[in-house]
Amino acid sequence: MGTQNVSWWGQQRNRQLALIVCFLLPSLVIFFLYRILPLGWNVILSFQSWSPLRPAEWIGFEHYVEMWEYDDVFWIALKNTLIFIAASPLAIAAALGVALLVNSDLKGASIYRTIVFLSYPLMAIAVGIIWRWMYDERGGIINYALRSAGLIDKPIGFLQDFDWALPSVIFAEVWQILGFYMIILLTGLQSIPQNLYEAARIDGAPAWARFFRITIPMLRPSLFLCVVVGILNSFSSFDLVYIMTNGGPGHATELLITHIYKAGFVQTKFDYAAALTVVQFALLVALTFVANKAAGGNAGAVERD
Amino acid sequence: MASRSKHATLLGLRHLTLMVIAFFMLVPFYWVIKTAITNENIYAYPPSLLPQNPHLFNFVDVWYLIPFPRYLLNSIIVSTIAVVGNVVFNAMAGYALTRQFAGRNLVLALFLSCMLIPFQATIIPAYLITAKLSLLNTYFGLALPMLSTIVCIFVFKAAFEAVPRSLIDAARLDGLSEWRIILRVLMPLSKPAIATNVILTFIWSWNNFLWPLLITRDPLMQTLPLGLARFLSYLEDTTGALYAFAVMVLAPSILVFLMAQKEFIRGLTSGATKG
Amino acid sequence: MTRWWVSRWFIVPTLMLLVTLGWLVYVGRHDNGLIEGRIVDAAGQPVAGATVRIFDRGFVTYQERGRTHSDADGRFRITDNTSHSVQLEAETPALGRSKRMEVRLWFAAQDVRLTDPLRLPAKP
C-alpha cells in the first residue's frame, strides 16, 4: 500500500485544475464545434466527393481543378470580392476624415458621432431593403434627386444595371460600416498623447506634417483593425447582397460568400462549397498577412518608449 | 483678433461639414419612415418628399397579416438564450483565464486564433454538425453557435483582473467556494463587462440572418431577419407595408443601441486592444 | 447600495413594460368586434332595412364575412368583427349600392363607431 502522498495542497491544486477545466469547457466546446472543427472539416471535405446519400470518397484536388478550369462564376465572384475589399481603404479614409472632424470637445460632437454610428447596429437585411428602395427607379430618392438636379434624364436602374450594381451594393455597405470605422479611428485618435503635437508645433511643423508624421503612424493599430474588418466584411456582407440583388444581375454582384451559399445550400454540393470556403479563407489569411506586413508587422502595434 | 475670427470660421465650417455628413447618413432613415407611413401608391413618380396622408395603419397590417408576433417571439427567445449563455460561459472562461495553470498560453493562443475565423467560413460544417446533433430547426440550435464570443471573454478577463486581489483573498479566507467568489465578489464589480457582453451578443443574435436561413425548416420558426427577407417575395404591393415591417424590425435595435451606446462602443473597441 | 432604480437599464424596460401592459388592458376591454354606423340616402335621410355587408381583409383581396340590416333609424350594428381592416358596403334594391367604406382599426376586433355614414347613391 503506497503512502498517503497526496497532500492537502496537492488535492487543492487538483481540485482547482478541475475547476478551471470545468469553467473553460463550455466555451471551448462551442469554439471547437463551431470554429476549429469546421475549419478542419472544410479542408477534408474539399478533397472528398460527398453527398448526404453516399459515403465519402477521396478525390484529391478535383474540386479545385473544377474551380480553376470550369467555374466561371468562381472567377467573377473572386473579382467582385476583391473589388469589394479594395473599396474599404476609401471608406476608411472617409471615416478618418469624419473622425478628425468629430474628435474634439466640439459642441454636439457626441450627437454627430451617434448619428454616424447609428447605421452600424442595424440588421443588414433591413438596410438592404432600405437601400433597395432608395435605388428604385420610380419611388427611389436617389433617382429623384439626380433627375431633379438635371444630372440624368432617365432613371437608372442601379441594381439592375450590370455596371452599377456592384458599386451600388458597395455604397450601401459603406454607409453601414462607416460608423464602425469612425469609432475605431476615434478611439485611436484619442489615445495619441497630446504632447507629441505640442512638441511638433513648437518645432514649427506645419499641419500636414503633423498629420502624416504623427497621426498616421500612431493610428497604425486602428487602421490595421479597420483594414482587417474591411476584408472580413466581404464575408459578412452576405445578408446585404442576398437581399439587394442575390448576386444578380447575371453574376455582377456575386461574392464568394454568395457563391458558397448557392453551391452548398441551393445546389447541395457541400463538398464543392467546402473547397470554395477553403479558398476564400486562404484569401482572407493571405490578405491579412499582407496588411500586417504593410502595417509594419505586429498588427501595427506602436512601440512606445 | 484676426486669428479669433479665423478660428470661428473654421469652427463654423467644421459644424457645416458635420451637418452635411449627418444629413446624408440620416436620409435613408427618413425615406423609409416616410414610405412606411404613406398611404398612396409609393411607386408614383415623382415621389413626394413629404408623406402624403400619413397614417400608421401599415404597422397594424404588418402585425396581423404576416406572423410578426411569432417572428418577434422567435427572435426574442433565441436572443435571450444567446445572451444568457454568453454571459455565463464567457464569465466562466474569463475567470479561468485569470488563474495560472499549465497550458494557459495554449488556451490563450487558441482563443485568439479563433477570432480570425469568421462565422461565414464555417457554415457548411456548422450546418452538418447541427444536423448531426438533431438541433436543426430548434431554438437551441439557432442560438448554439452564438453561445460564446472571444472578445467578451477577454473583456471579462480584463474586468476580473481589475478587481483588487485583496477582495478575492478575503473572500477565499472566508471560505467561499470559487463559484461564490465569482457571483458575489467579481460579477457585481464587473457590471460594465456584463453590459458590454449583453449588448454585443444581443445585437449579433438579433441581426443574424445567415444562420437562421440555413437551419430553419418550418416557416414558423423563422426569426425577424428571415421573416423580413421572405416578405419581400410575398407580394409586390404598392403600399408601404414592407417598409413598415422594416421600421418595426429596426426599432428595437435602435432603442437598445441608444440605451447602451457606451457599452457597445467599449465592446467594439476592446477588440482593438489585444487581451 | 446606490439607487439602482435610477439607471437607464431599469427605467427604460420598466416604462416599456408599463406601456405594454396598459395597451393590453385597453385592447382587452375594447375588442368586442363592435361596429356601429348608419346609412343615409343621397339626400341625407336615414334608410331603414338596407343590407350591410362586411368584408374582411385577406392578404390581397377582401372576402365577405357577413351581413346585417339597418334598423328604423338607419343605424346598423355588427357584433362579430374579428379583423383589423374591413370594408363595409350598404345596398337596397331601390336606392342602389354605396361605395365601399374602408375601416382600418388599431387592433383586431376593435370597437368602433363610424363617424361618416354609408351613402346610398339615389334618393327615393
Q: What is the pLDDT of residue A6?
A: 60
Say yes or no: C9 contacts chain B, CB-CB below 8 A: yes
For residues C17 and C40, membership in a common domain is answered with no
pLDDT: which is higher, B267 or A239: A239
- Non-local (6+) Cβ contacts of A78 within 8 A are A256, A283
Q: What is the pLDDT of residue A301?
A: 59
- Measured between beta carbons, the chain C residues lying within 8 angstroms of B63 are 84
Q: Which domain holds residue B91?
A: 67-272
Say yes or no: C12 contacts chain B, CB-CB below 8 A: yes
Question: Is B71 domain-assigned?
Answer: yes
Number of domains in chain A: 2
Interface test with B, best of C11, C81, C104, C105 (most B CBs within 10 A): C104
Residue B94 near residue B156 (C-beta atoms within 8 A): yes
Q: Which residue of A has its CA nearest to B238?
A: A139
* Average pLDDT across chain A, whole number: 86
Question: Is A111 domain-assigned?
Answer: yes
Mean pLDDT over B65-80 rounds to: 91
Q: What is the pLDDT of residue B274?
A: 38
Q: What is the pLDDT of residue C22?
A: 94
Interface test with C, best of B37, B58, B61 (most C CBs within 10 A): B61
For residues C9 and C69, membership in a common domain is answered with no
- Measured between beta carbons, the chain A residues lying within 8 angstroms of B123 are 260-261, 264, 277
pLDDT over 90 percentage in chain C? 10
Summarised one tens digit per residue, pLDDT across range C61-102 is 788 888 888 888 888 888 888 888 888 888 888 888 888 888
Indicate whether A90 pLDDT > 90. yes
Indicate whether A177 pLDDT > 90. yes
For residues A185 and A223, membership in a common domain is answered with yes
For residues C41 and C75, membership in a common domain is answered with yes
Q: What is the pLDDT of residue C48?
A: 84
Longest CA pairwise span in chain A (Å)? 98
Which of A24, A141, A148 comes nearest B93 by C-beta? A24
For residues A149 and A274, membership in a common domain is answered with yes
Mean pLDDT over B149-178 rounds to: 84
Residue B155 near residue B267 (C-beta atoms within 8 A): yes
Indicate whether A1 pLDDT > 60. no
pLDDT over 90 percentage in chain B? 29
Q: What is the pLDDT of residue A280?
A: 92
Using DSSP bridges, classify how beta strands C96-97 and C85-92 pair: parallel, antiparallel or unpaired: antiparallel
Inter-chain CB proximity C85 and B235 less than 8 Å: no
Cell reading at C75: 343605424
Residue B74 near residue B137 (C-beta atoms within 8 A): no
Q: What is the pLDDT of residue C1?
A: 56
For chains A and B, CB pairs below 8 A equal 251
Question: Is B35 domain-assigned?
Answer: no
For residues A174 and A253, membership in a common domain is answered with yes
For residues C57 and C84, membership in a common domain is answered with yes
Query: Model confidence at B273, in pLDDT bands (50, 70, 90)?
Result: very low
Q: Identify any residues that bridge with C54 across adjacent strands, giving them in sequence order.
A: C66, C88
Using DSSP bridges, classify how beta strands C35-40 and C112-113 pair: parallel, antiparallel or unpaired: parallel
Residue A102 near residue A109 (C-beta atoms within 8 A): yes
Residue A129 near residue B242 (C-beta atoms within 8 A): yes
Question: Is B186 domain-assigned?
Answer: yes
Question: Is A3 domain-assigned?
Answer: no
Number of domains in chain B: 1
For residues A156 and A217, membership in a common domain is answered with yes
For residues C91 and C55, membership in a common domain is answered with yes
* Average pLDDT across chain B, whole number: 85
Name residue A290's amino acid. Answer: V
Distances in whole angstroms, Cα of residue A78 to Cα of each of A47, A260, B150: 21, 11, 29
pLDDT: which is higher, A186 or B187: A186
Sort A36 into a burial class: Cβ within 10 Å, 0-12 / 13-18 / 19+.
Answer: middle
Is the pair C, B in contact (3+ CB pairs within 8 Å)?
A: yes
Summarised one tens digit per residue, pLDDT across range A250-286 is 888 999 999 999 999 998 888 899 999 999 999 999 9
Question: Is A158 domain-assigned?
Answer: yes
Q: What is the pLDDT of residue A196?
A: 83
Q: Which residue of A has its CA nearest to B93?
A: A24
For residues C49 and C26, membership in a common domain is answered with no
Question: Is C124 domain-assigned?
Answer: no
Question: Is B180 domain-assigned?
Answer: yes
Mean pLDDT over A45-64 rounds to: 83
For residues A219 and A75, membership in a common domain is answered with yes
For residues C24 and C49, membership in a common domain is answered with no
Query: Model confidence at A5, in pLDDT bands (50, 70, 90)?
Result: low
Which CATH number do you get for residue A149? 1.10.3720.10
For residues A129 and A223, membership in a common domain is answered with yes
Indicate whether C113 pLDDT > 80. yes
Q: What is the pLDDT of residue B192?
A: 86
Q: What is the pLDDT of residue B275?
A: 30
- For chain B, what's the residue count? 275
Using DSSP bridges, classify how beta strands C85-92 and C35-40 pair: parallel, antiparallel or unpaired: unpaired
Inter-chain CB proximity B64 and C108 less than 8 Å: yes
pLDDT: which is higher, A288 or A206: A288
Number of domains in chain C: 2
- Measured between beta carbons, the chain B residues lying within 8 angstroms of C59 are 65, 234-235
Question: Is C78 domain-assigned?
Answer: yes
Indicate whether A80 pLDDT > 90. yes
Residue A220 near residue A302 (C-beta atoms within 8 A): yes
Q: Which domain holds residue A112?
A: 65-300
Distance CA C3, CA C9 (A): 12
For residues C63 and C88, membership in a common domain is answered with yes
Inter-chain CB proximity C85 and B234 less than 8 Å: no
Query: Backbone phi, then psi, for A245, in 5-degree steps?
Result: -135, -15
For residues A29 and A75, membership in a common domain is answered with no
For residues C85 and C44, membership in a common domain is answered with yes
Question: Is B145 domain-assigned?
Answer: yes
Question: Is C71 domain-assigned?
Answer: yes
- Measured between beta carbons, the chain B residues lying within 8 angstroms of A145 are none
Interface test with B, best of C2, C4, C7, C9 (most B CBs within 10 A): C9
What ipTM is given for this predicted complex? 0.88
Q: What is the DSSP letter of C98?
A: P
Q: What is the DSSP letter of A98?
A: H
For residues A15 and A85, membership in a common domain is answered with no
Mean pLDDT over A33-38 rounds to: 92
Indicate whether A189 pLDDT > 80. yes
Which CATH number do you get for residue B209? 1.10.3720.10
For residues C60 and C104, membership in a common domain is answered with yes
For residues C65 and C113, membership in a common domain is answered with yes
Question: Is A54 domain-assigned?
Answer: no
Which of A19, A24, A129 comes nearest B107 by C-beta? A24
For residues C6 and C43, membership in a common domain is answered with no
Query: Backbone phi, then psi, for B45, in 5-degree steps?
Result: -110, 140
Question: Is B111 domain-assigned?
Answer: yes
Cell reading at A218: 500612431
Q: What is the pLDDT of residue B87?
A: 92
Summarised one tens digit per residue, pLDDT across range B218-249 is 888 889 999 888 887 665 566 778 888 999 99
Q: What is the pLDDT of residue A302?
A: 57
- Non-local (6+) Cβ contacts of B33 within 8 A are B247
Q: What is the pLDDT of residue B76?
A: 94
Question: Is A1 domain-assigned?
Answer: no
Cell reading at B124: 457548411
Indicate whether A299 pLDDT > 70. no
For residues A144 and A201, membership in a common domain is answered with yes
Sort B131 into a burial class: Cβ within 10 Å, 0-12 / 13-18 / 19+.
Answer: middle
Inter-chain CB proximity B65 and C107 less than 8 Å: no
Mean pLDDT over A190-206 rounds to: 83
Q: What is the pLDDT of residue A305?
A: 43
Q: What is the pLDDT of residue B236?
A: 58
Q: What is the pLDDT of residue A221?
A: 86
DSSP for C54-95? EEEE-SSSEEEEEEEE--TTSEEEE-----SEEEEEEEETTT
Indicate whether A122 pLDDT > 70. yes
Which CATH number do you get for residue C107? 2.60.40.1120
Which of B107, B265, B272 comes nearest A222 by C-beta? B272
- Non-local (6+) Cβ contacts of C51 within 8 A are C67, C68, C69, C90, C91, C92
Question: Is A55 domain-assigned?
Answer: no
Question: Is A56 domain-assigned?
Answer: no
Inter-chain CB proximity B60 and C106 less than 8 Å: yes
Q: Which domain holds residue C101?
A: 35-119
What DSSP element (H or E) covers A133? helix A124-134
Summarised one tens digit per residue, pLDDT across range C9-62 is 888 889 999 999 999 999 999 888 888 888 888 888 888 888 888 888 877 778
pLDDT over 70 percentage in chain B? 95
Indicate whether A300 pLDDT > 70. no
